[in-house]
Amino acid sequence: MKTGQSEIECSLSENLTFEGRLQTYAQSVERLLEDIPRLCALLQSPVKAGLWDALQSRYRAFKACLEKEITPPLVVTLYGPSGAGKSTIFRWLTGLDVPAGDHIRPVTRRSVIAVPPEICRDDILQPIFPGFDLVPLVDKEDLKLASSGSPRLHYAVASRSQQGLPFILADVPDFNTVECKNWEEAERMLSRAELTIFLVYQEGYSDKRIVEMLAQCCRVSERLVYVFTKTPPEAAKTMWQHLLQIAKDSPEFGESRRDGQSLAEF
């Protein structure tokens, strides 16, 4: 996937230390937070709320971690339709026992995050996930209950160790089998993530609803990984080319992201 970085930006980032990259990111976002409202006022064009809110939410979480002298974690969201294998992969990666593979759908109605032990505290997680009612995961059956009031986000310590940069992995409800309230909850998690992993199976990758949600991912995701599950490699290559053609022919994928790329280019 293209990331929208220019060759100059890539060259600069390669020469920076990790701390230097964090500082460069902070300076860049501060500039955006100042300049974008001014530019929109000058052009008499409103800021797109969803994208703007996502940018601010990510940056507030970033600053909250720095203030506590904690390395800001990468938030990764598993996203996709029912039956794509999100919860199964979540279990493999984290060691957490969450509902997966049931015949009754939806399997879950609440999101759950697996967190490194050093940041598994309410005072750290709350600024990272503003607007959520954070609840420790005690019983996996709680994930099947519908949220009332503020969206509930369950958290637990990942039982498998991580290598390198700490990350928080989120498993969200299926977007094609749950009520509208749950679609909103899933999209809120999508807007918060620095990386979205979009999982899809071969029988449904071109379905209208799934393609629509892929477009939404392309609008607000910082980075996107697209994964065919339960699919032979050669078939995946063919379907990938077909999907690119669908995006190319779709007016929806002609929309521009905030980095200037069209959704299809992204």
* 49-88 tens-digit pLDDT: 556 776 777 777 778 777 877 777 888 999 888 888 888 8
Global pTM reads 0.75
Domain ranges, residue 99: 73-254
Would 137 be classed as within a structural domain? yes
For the chain, give percent helix, strand, coil, nearest 5. 45, 15, 40
Tell me what percent of the residues of the chain surpass a pLDDT of 90.
Answer: 20
Would 106 be classed as within a structural domain? yes
Would 47 be classed as within a structural domain? no
Going by pLDDT thresholds of 50, 70 and 90, the confidence category of residue 162 is low
Q: What is the mean pLDDT of residues 157-168?
A: 74
Q: Is the pLDDT of residue 198 over 90?
A: yes
Would 63 be classed as within a structural domain? no
Would 7 be classed as within a structural domain? no
Q: Is the pLDDT of residue 90 over 70?
A: yes
Q: Is the pLDDT of residue 5 over 50?
A: no
CA 262/CA 266 separation, integer angstroms: 6
Phi, psi of 138 (to 5 degrees): -105, -45
Q: Is the pLDDT of residue 137 over 60?
A: yes
What CATH number did the domain enclosing 217 receive? 3.40.50.300
Would 1 be classed as within a structural domain? no
Pairing of strands 167-171, 152-157: unpaired
**Between 80 and 150, the higher pLDDT residue:** 80
Would 29 be classed as within a structural domain? no
Tokens of residue 56, six digits = 């601010």
In this prediction, residue 103 carries a pLDDT of: 43
Would 217 be classed as within a structural domain? yes
Q: How many domains does the chain have?
A: 1
Q: How many CB atoms lie within 10 A of CB 142?
A: 16
Phi, psi of 123 (to 5 degrees): -65, -20
Q: Render pLDDT for 119-129 as a digit per residue (tens, 0 to 9).
A: 888 888 887 88
CA 52/CA 58 separation, integer angstroms: 10
